[in-house]
Amino acid sequence: MVTMDDVARLAGVSKMTVSNVVNNRGGVSEPVRRRVREAIERSGYRVNVSARTLRSGRTGVIGLAVPEIDRPYFGRLASHVIERARRRGFHVAIEQTGAAAAGEIDAIAHARTLQFDGLILSAVGLDGRDRTPPEGDHPIVMLGEQDFGGRFDHIAMPNEEATAAATAHLLDRGCRAVAHVTGRLDWNLNMVNARHRGHLGALAARGVEADPALHVGLDALTMEAGRAAAHRLAAAGRPFDGVLAVTDTVALGVLRGLADVGLRVPDDVRVAGFDDIAEAAYLVPALTTVAPDHAWMAEKAVELVTERIADPGRPTARYVAPYALVIRESTR
Amino acid sequence: MVTMDDVARLAGVSKMTVSNVVNNRGGVSEPVRRRVREAIERSGYRVNVSARTLRSGRTGVIGLAVPEIDRPYFGRLASHVIERARRRGFHVAIEQTGAAAAGEIDAIAHARTLQFDGLILSAVGLDGRDRTPPEGDHPIVMLGEQDFGGRFDHIAMPNEEATAAATAHLLDRGCRAVAHVTGRLDWNLNMVNARHRGHLGALAARGVEADPALHVGLDALTMEAGRAAAHRLAAAGRPFDGVLAVTDTVALGVLRGLADVGLRVPDDVRVAGFDDIAEAAYLVPALTTVAPDHAWMAEKAVELVTERIADPGRPTARYVAPYALVIRESTR
DNA sequence: TTGTATGCGTTATCAT
DNA sequence: ATGATAACGCATACAA
């Protein structure tokens, strides 16, 4: 392995000068700088990141912990985070938490062990109440769903407001009986509860009574569960003419399930989702959905985490992501 | 920061004994071991990975370079690789290459700079001909598409064979004019070429003449391009009753595009794809597709890279992933 | 079984 | 502007 010492010898300078050149620091004359650059080139020298980290205490790595990287929503988010972090000179290491509090606690521990400079945690298991994150001084930015009562920097989703907008839109389109296909409320998952509140609020605002029979609490927020929910709704016999799905992934399953039982969208039933995954625009019918600004969220998360790395004592900040309701065929 | 020295002082032993306990080495009496464990617990000590790495020369990190993490196919692959690597005690750092040779060369350089113990590279830009990977002794496993003539460990896709099977299936279903919606052949992208060969081969085997007008070379393998291709095919006036799409993502766009122009699937046109992305089974109509065994590929890739890390001199290996043709509604 | 000395490659500090 | 020296925290080799 080629070290700074080798380069220094080759260039006829001290290794400190090599270090200064490598890190683009001042105090090196132009001819010497050029000589060192040449020596680096010739020798094929590369900095040893471990040694640098050991000395400086910084790894230049930000952790990104998501439930599962192969869900479209998180893949998109990760892609943006990687890109934004790169612009600021940080590398991103991805952790999968498996959508469980235990996995999220692991991710936090991991972030310390592997000396990530900071961690962006898309938490769905931990919260500010019964399952709280472990104490620690590591820079953590919470992303998305849960609420932590100001203990962390937090980029929140406009869950309640945006869901209300989606439900209001369904009512505008003439729906009278809107089913809500979502997670089970007893999960105490903030995202599920907040979106449900938004749904109920929109109904109440129009004087529509919520029918408990049209509330479907899924065991998992998957395509398969969405499909089964549609089957169940159809089998129950209670008439419905709209479905609000808690995520696009669930909505995709619902669309499929409605097709299974011969219900046409939007003619018989209108459907809306949440997330605006890339596929939403290409489904048949194309899916109406809430589109949070993913790029904005990623940018803000990286900004917050880098700021906290630079100044750990900063007061925590909280932002709510902007969103748009994208109206497509499924609610025409 | 708590170091081994602190723990040693707390437990009343030397730091070497602490090191032995931390690394589960023998030669430590049970009482001492317990005392050290307690001291670690109380002090909140964590090993400093950089220091360990600096000594041992191993980071315990495998790089995974993919074109874009937010494509369903690569998200799924990454998820598997992360899981398999974890089982072997490795951490995975994800790089995005942007589907370009330059990005792939960067990823290789990055892997050296960041001292990944090995790299799994899902190459689409580099190949064994005009754009070759830079020389270097770093353990690299090539995954997927390109062909490198035995210079690297390689997990290949059954591109030609599986595509031939898909085309044969379309013919079996009664298709007489099967369009191939794929990338441009002048990309010289092995994946595109191999799949096209497979398609032509299957036609030839049945004595069907290939109609050049039914070959659509896209500028990008995206949903939007697939949609546009369907529009173009319909507008061209040349009758067709089958579409073989080079990937499921393109197929998704084709399905959408056919719907746009009022063609029904499978009644008017049958459609098949390649990859078996998670959404394929839930589309309306559900998509017939080639399903390579992703878990197997991930497992094999991690196995190969860890073996090469352990024994850099090993001869290179090449495997072809198993696959299945999953028949769904789009070709019923 | 336990302890001591040394070096991994880099950067901060201080000196020249 | 450049160089010498001392850490950073850990693990190897060897001594006790």
| Type and span of the H or E element at A117 | none
Q: How far A60 CA lies from chain B's nearest CA (Å)?
A: 10
The whole-angstrom separation of Cα A229 and Cα A240 is 13
Per-residue pLDDT, A294: 95
CA of A29 to C1' of D2 (A): 10
Whether the per-residue pLDDT at B221 is higher than 90: the answer is yes
The pairs formed by A147-151 with CB atoms below 8 angstroms and a separation of 24 or more are A147/A190, A150/A316, A150/A318, A151/A316
Mean pLDDT across A209-233: 97
Q: Count chain A–chain B contacts defined by CB atoms under 8 A.
A: 120
Per-residue pLDDT, B25: 83
Across chain B, mean pLDDT equals 93
* pLDDT band at residue B313 using 50, 70 and 90 as cut-offs: confident
The interface residues of chain B toward chain A in range 260-289, judged by CB-CB distance below 8 A, are: 278-279, 281-284, 286
Predicted model pTM: 0.90
Whether the per-residue pLDDT at B145 is higher than 80: the answer is no
How would you label B85-110 residue by residue, b for 16+ Cβ within 10 Å and e otherwise?
Answer: beeeebbbbbbbbbbebebbbbbbeb
Per-residue pLDDT, A147: 77
The whole-angstrom separation of Cα B250 and Cα B308 is 35
pLDDT tens, position by position, A19-41? 999 999 888 999 999 999 999 99
| B329 closest CA partner among B290, B280, B257 | B280
Query: What is the 3-class SS of chain B, one letter each residue?
Result: CCCHHHHHHHHCCCHHHHHHHHCCCCCCCHHHHHHHHHHHHHHCCCCCHHHHHHHHCCCCEEEEEECCCCCHHHHHHHHHHHHHHHHCCCEEEEEECCCCHHHHHHHHHHHHHCCCCEEEECCCCCCCCCCCCCCCCCCEEEEECCCCCCCCEEEECCHHHHHHHHHHHHHHCCCCCEEEEEECHHHCCHHHHHHHHHHHHHHHHCCCCCCHHHEEEECCCCHHHHHHHHHHHHHHCCCCCEEEECCHHHHHHHHHHHHHCCCCCCCCCEEEEECCCHHHHHCCCCCEEEEECHHHHHHHHHHHHHHHHHCCCCCCCEEECCEEEECCHHHC
Q: Which amino acid is at A297?
A: M
**Inter-CA distances, B174 with B163, B168, B331, Å:** 17, 10, 10
- The DSSP bridge partners found for residue B91 are B61
| Type and span of the H or E element at A197 | helix A190-205
Whether residue B49 and residue A83 make contact (CB cut-off 8 A), yes or no, is: no
pLDDT tens, position by position, B181-196? 999 988 878 899 999 9
DSSP 3-state assignment of A194? helix
**Inter-CA distances, A239 with A155, A178, A215, B229, Å:** 38, 10, 13, 40
Top pLDDT among A277 and B44 is at A277
CA of A14 to C1' of D3 (A): 6
Domains of chain B and any CATH numbers: 4-47 (1.10.260.40), 60-157+293-321 (3.40.50.2300), 159-291+326-331 (3.40.50.2300)
Q: Residue A112: its chain B contacts at CB < 8 A?
A: 46
Whether the per-residue pLDDT at B81 is higher than 80: the answer is yes
Does any CB of chain B come closer than 8 Å to the CB of residue A185?
no
CA of B54 to C1' of D10 (A): 8
Best residue of A50, A53, A97, A254 to probe chain B, by most B CBs closer than 10 Å: A50
The whole-angstrom separation of Cα A170 and Cα A245 is 12
Out of B71, B113, B223, the one facing A282 most closely (by C-beta) is B223
> Averaging pLDDT over each range in A53-67, A153-167, B84-98, B113-127, which range is the top one?
A153-167
B27: buried, middle or exposed (CB in 10 Å: 19+, 13-18, 0-12)? Answer: exposed
Does any CB of chain A come closer than 8 Å to the CB of residue B114?
yes
Q: Report residue A201 as tokens.
A: 């609020």
Mean pLDDT across B19-37: 88
The whole-angstrom separation of Cα B61 and Cα A113 is 13
Mean pLDDT across B6-27: 88
The whole-angstrom separation of Cα A157 and Cα B139 is 42
Q: Tell me: cis bond preceding B139? Omega within 30 of 0 counts.
A: no
The interface residues of chain A toward chain B in range 285-314, judged by CB-CB distance below 8 A, are: 286
Count Cβ atoms below 10 Å from residue B200 Cβ, excluding itself.
Answer: 18
Q: CA A314, A319, A320 angle in degrees (round to 5)?
A: 170
Q: Which amino acid is at A45?
A: Y
Per-residue pLDDT, B142: 94
Per-residue pLDDT, B1: 78
Per-residue pLDDT, B124: 87
The whole-angstrom separation of Cα A210 and Cα A179 is 9
Q: Which amino acid is at B19?
A: S
Does any CB of chain A come closer than 8 Å to the CB of residue B96?
yes
The whole-angstrom separation of Cα A52 and Cα A90 is 15
